[in-house]
Chains A and B, each alone.
Chain A
Amino acid sequence: MSDAVAKSEREQEESNARIMTGNAATALAAQDAGTDVVAAYPITPQTEIVENIAEAVESGEFDAEFSRVESEHSAMAAVMGASQANARTFTATASQGLLFMSEMVWWTAASRLPVVMSIANRALGPPWNIWGSHTDALSQRDSGWMQMFAGTVQEVYDLTLASFRIAEDQDVMLPAMMNLDGFTFAHTMQPLEKLSPEDAQAYVGEIDIPHEVTSQNPRGFGAFTAGDNFWKFRKKIMDAMDNVPEVADQAFDELAEITGREYDLVHEYEADDADLVIVGLGTLAREAEVAADVLRKEHDIEAGVVRPILQTPFPEERFTEAVGDAEKVVVLDRSTSFGRGGIVTQDVKLALDQPVASVIAGIGGQNVEWDDMVDIALNAEPGKTQWFGGDL
């Protein structure tokens, strides 16, 4: 047994170090950020988020309005309405729930409202499946929501706070989707350091929506608009999206000043001198770091991992820089676009000037371990889409 410092419960309450699931960390981040209004509908594997918020609100620990709405479509409509009235808002869903919510997801972005939503990524049916896949979130990538993907419980806590900070920035004013893999992450306990609510709220700042709906300043929102003006609204969103990488970098710098933890638009592991780079989102790509270690040690291959933290807008420049001169690029893609192959692969292909090996892996509960990833990295063929479990 290592030299250990046992922590009594009292000591723990006084310190900010905890161990908890990705879902619990998400709920905690929403609370620490000073969210004012939550409306949510339960769906596996997100239910713990909603339940923890319910408990914290009922105990008085979390001072927010909380509505147990009757569907996801209503959940997004409700937080959208609250956000329009200048409240800090949060909701969470997954999979089918996100798709049922989709119309309002788009409505919220085009309304330029900085709602923050967590997605415990889950496969879409039929057939019914409750395990991880990124297709749900990525199906909304055109909507105007920025999207980040976390890989550890610490990351999901920190990045959820950052989501509020970035979304509410006057140069962005767009909603933010924070993604965590269902089950392998959402339900997995890992240690984290939290911020005090005071520090978290100082970091996020005061919410100030310029287009707040208020009788003090009566204006109409979203009314009929014709062709000479409609495109201007769309261009504004496009421009705001272009600001996200810079604002995110700044938000990460500010967070580092408070916590000492550094974040980047793209997370690199041993990618500097890598000849082979594995690309992926979330926990799959983090496990790939072990595969990279093994490839170096056992197979004499200089391998590394590039894991985008920000996926929408896709940080092309940073990503290309991270991949560098790697000869072989293997995408572990936990998503599918029928007719286009893996969704993450599309962004990777657009950014790079070389054939990419795309491997659809780990969807719907398919177990992909570090040693599988070693085999995949060795055998995947550039220029092709292959399926783990089938081709590989």
Chain B
Amino acid sequence: MSTQSEGALVPALDMIQIRWHSRGGQGGMTASQLLGQAAFEDGRQATAFSFYGAERRGAPLTSYNRIADQPIKLYSRVSSPDMVVILDESLVDIQDVTAGLDEDGIVVINTTEPDLVDHDGRIVAVDATSIALDYDLSVDGTPIVNTPILGAVARTDAADIDTVARVIEEEFGEANMKAAREAYENATEV
């Protein structure tokens, strides 16, 4: 399993760590929970949690996943992610979205401009907003980008697209599942 570049310091640290950047109301928290569910269904150990202030629409919110083969003992917020997922590109200017990510790390981002992010390593970019609108996925006027973005995440070692698709379909139905699969097919790599 891929982890930090030199291999884990001790076996208990052998894991994938993912940090999600979103705004309240965009489904970042749900995305991390769906990924946790998918990892679990694939027989892996996983944790999923979010860090946010009191509930406020539009306020920046960070979510986390850890995925490993052995029970995970870490509960602290991820400071050295192997992957960063950005649901809202407006966050790139106001937050250090790649903090702790080294050049072996992966960025998955909802954007039409992959150059937006300052990262030397792999960038998986997908226009999740357009895909969401194509499939009519929105809540109270806000496009639901979390399910398509999960499709893009499945392009990495963190998730298997078939499992992700199944979890999404069971939870949110066919349109969301198709959006995820389309994002998986159409994401571009930099």
Q: How far is the CB of A327 from chain B (nearest CB, A)?
A: 23
Q: Please, how many angstroms separate the alpha-carbon atoms of A19 and B171 in the complex?
A: 14
Interface residue stretch chosen among B19-27, B68-76, B90-98: B68-76
Given A189-B33, A290-B13, A298-B9, A184:B76 Cβ within 8 A: yes
Given A187-B50, A189-B36, A2:B76 Cβ within 8 A: no
Interface residue stretch chosen among B40-48, B108-116, B139-147, B178-186: B40-48
Q: How far is the CB of A168 from chain B (nearest CB, A)?
A: 31
Partner of B77, one of A44, A128, A367: A367
Would B76 and A188 count as touching, CB distance under 8 A? no
Q: Please, how many angstroms separate the alpha-carbon atoms of A50 and B138 in the complex?
A: 27
Closest to B1 in A: A2
Partner of A189, one of B10, B48, B76: B48
Residue numbers of B with Cβ under 8 A of A are: 1, 9-13, 33, 36-37, 40-51, 53-54, 69, 71-77, 79, 157, 160, 162-163, 166, 170
Partner of A289, one of B53, B73, B170: B73
With a cutoff of 8 Å between Cβ atoms, the chain B residues found around residue A290 in the complex are 10, 12-13, 73-74
List 18 extra interface pairs beyond A4-B42, A19-B46, CB under 8 A: A1-B160, A2-B1, A2-B69, A5-B43, A21-B49, A181-B75, A183-B49, A184-B49, A185-B75, A187-B49, A189-B37, A190-B46, A283-B75, A289-B12, A289-B73, A290-B10, A290-B74, A294-B9
User: In the complex, which residues 41-69 of chain A have their Cβ closer than 8 Å to any Cβ of chain B?
Assistant: 44
Given A289-B12, A289-B73, A293-B10, A2:B44 Cβ within 8 A: yes
With a cutoff of 8 Å between Cβ atoms, the chain B residues found around residue A4 in the complex are 42-44
Offer 10 A-B interface pairs, CB within 8 angstroms, sorted by A. Answer: A2-B1, A6-B43, A44-B54, A184-B49, A184-B76, A188-B49, A286-B73, A287-B76, A290-B12, A367-B77
Q: Please, how many angstroms separate the alpha-carbon atoms of A184 and B79 in the complex?
A: 15
With a cutoff of 8 Å between Cβ atoms, the chain A residues found around residue B50 in the complex are 187
Q: Please, how many angstroms separate the alpha-carbon atoms of A59 and B110 in the complex?
A: 37
Q: Does A225 contact B (CB under 8 A)?
A: no
Would B47 and A188 count as touching, CB distance under 8 A? yes
Residue among A6, A8, A12, A294 having the largest count of chain B Cβ atoms under 10 Å:
A6
Q: Does A370 contact B (CB under 8 A)?
A: yes
Q: How far is the CB of A368 from chain B (nearest CB, A)?
A: 6
Would A286 and B9 count as touching, CB distance under 8 A? no
Q: Please, how many angstroms separate the alpha-carbon atoms of A4 and B43 in the complex?
A: 5
With a cutoff of 8 Å between Cβ atoms, the chain A residues found around residue B77 in the complex are 367, 369
